[in-house]
Amino acid sequence: MTTLTAAIVHHIAAARARWADEEGAAMVEYGLLVALIAVVVMAALTPLGGAIADLFNGVAGNLPGGTTTTTA
């Protein structure tokens, strides 16, 4: 093999090895992002829970034959 061919083969092998090594890290990063998004959604919806319950109770109370429920 010539020096140029050997260098190309070496770079291709290195790129493949790097691709294989980063695949697991990318999945961990996606998992962390999903967990962070879940925490943000829970933190945002917790204070709104009472307001959402009141909204649905108001709608249910205005329907014919509708009843409202109490929240604890």
- State pLDDT tens for residues 15-65: 777 666 555 677 888 889 999 999 998 888 888 888 888 888 888 888 887
Confidence of residue 13 (pLDDT cuts 50, 70, 90): confident
Look at residue 8 and tell me if it is in a domain: no
- Single-letter amino acid, residue 2: T
Look at residue 14 and tell me if it is in a domain: no
- Name the residue range of residue 59's domain: 24-63
Q: Taking the model in full, what pTM does it have?
A: 0.44
Look at residue 13 and tell me if it is in a domain: no
Half-sphere exposure of 8 (CA within 13 A, CB side): 5
Report the alpha-carbon distance of residue 23 to residue 54 in Å, rounded.
46
What's the domain count of the chain? 1
| pLDDT at residue 20, rounded to an integer | 65
Contacts of 69 (CB under 8 A, 6+ apart): 57, 60
Angle at 39 between CA 37 and CA 43, to 5 degrees: 115
Alpha helix (H) residue ranges in 1-72 = 3-62
